[in-house]
Each structure stands twice: as structure tokens, then as C-alpha cells.
Amino acid sequence: MSKFEKLIGSGFGTGFIKKASGTFGSLVALALYLIPGFENPALLVLFISASIVFGIPIATKFEKIYGKDPKEFTLDEFTGMWITLLFLPKSLWLIIPAFFIWRALDIFKPFPARRLEKLKGGLGIFADDIMAGFYAFLIMQILTNILYHFI
């Protein structure tokens, strides 16, 4: 594995934080989202797509070195976090709950996310986070629509 793949796969090194590497990876993904313009859906979809396409083979390499669904690989957390934030207005009142909802769903892995995690290699590493991110996305879209009807 190249140094570049290790840097990207570990979410800029967050995967090598001893405790809560997924949470730290999600926080860095959130920090990137806060860069002006990053919330543009076209740009966000590009980053989500690129992280999946290029990340799956890198995740497979991480798995061969560090074991099944290694904590050292956090690019999947970036992807799930970005899916959660897709199409949300850039507001702290929405971003903060989105982060916590995403983390809860990533940790508890509601059906079928836990099953998807059992897929082999990098696909399994990403599939559960994509599913959890999609669930978090749906929850945030519903909450956003409810909030905007009452405000």
C-alpha cells in the first residue's frame, strides 16, 4: 500500500487514533463539509462517488494488513457522513444532529447495514456505512422538512 493510499484510507490519519477512530474520521469529514462551497450537491456527490470508487480497493488493502473491517480505515466514515449531509442547508442546527444521528446509525447498524458489513473486502467495509448514511440522510431530510413547516 502506498503512503498516499494509507493517508486517504485512514481519513488523514484519523484511523490511527487509538479510541473512537470512526468518530474522529466523521469529524474531519464534517470539517471538510464546512469549507465554503463544499456543501454544493454536485461537489458532494463527486466526493462521495470518488471515495467509494477509489476507496473500495484501498479498503481491501487495509483489510489484508489490519484485519476484517479495520478501525484504521475511516474513509468509509467520511462517505457516510457526507451522504448524511447531502442536500442539507448549511446550518449548525441541522449539522450537529446530523453528526449524532449518523454516528448512532453507524454504530448500531440497523437492518440491513449489519448484513452488508459481512460482504467481502472493501465492498463490505463501505456497504454498511453507505446504508447507515442513507438512513441518516432520510432522517435528516424528514426532520428538515418538519422543522421548516413549523418555523
What are 2-54's pLDDT values in tens digits? 999 999 999 999 999 999 999 999 999 999 999 999 999 999 999 999 999 99
Percent share of the chain, pLDDT over 90:
84
- Cell 449489519, located at residue: 114
> 142, exposed or middle or buried, with CB in 10 Å at 0-12, 13-18, 19+?
exposed
CA within 13 Å, CB half, 34: 12
Select the more confidently predicted residue: 87 or 117: 87
- Look up residue 14 and give its DSSP letter: G
User: Does residue 77 contact residue 11 with C-beta atoms inside 8 Å?
Assistant: yes
Number of domains within the chain: 1
- Dihedral over alpha carbons 123, 104, 27, 67 (to 10 degrees): -40
Predicted local distance difference test score (pLDDT) of residue 151: 62
The phi and psi torsions of 39 (rounded to 5 degrees) equal -75, -10
d(CA 33, CA 95): 10
The set of residues, in sequence order, having a beta carbon less than 8 Å from that of 136 and lying 6+ positions away, is 80, 83, 84, 98, 101, 102, 105
Give the pLDDT score at 77.
Answer: 97
In terms of residue numbers, what domain contains 26?
A: 3-150
Confidence of residue 150 (pLDDT cuts 50, 70, 90): confident
Phi/psi of residue 74, each to 5°? Answer: -120, 5
pLDDT at 148 over 90: no
The length of the chain in residues reads: 151
pTM above threshold 0.85: yes
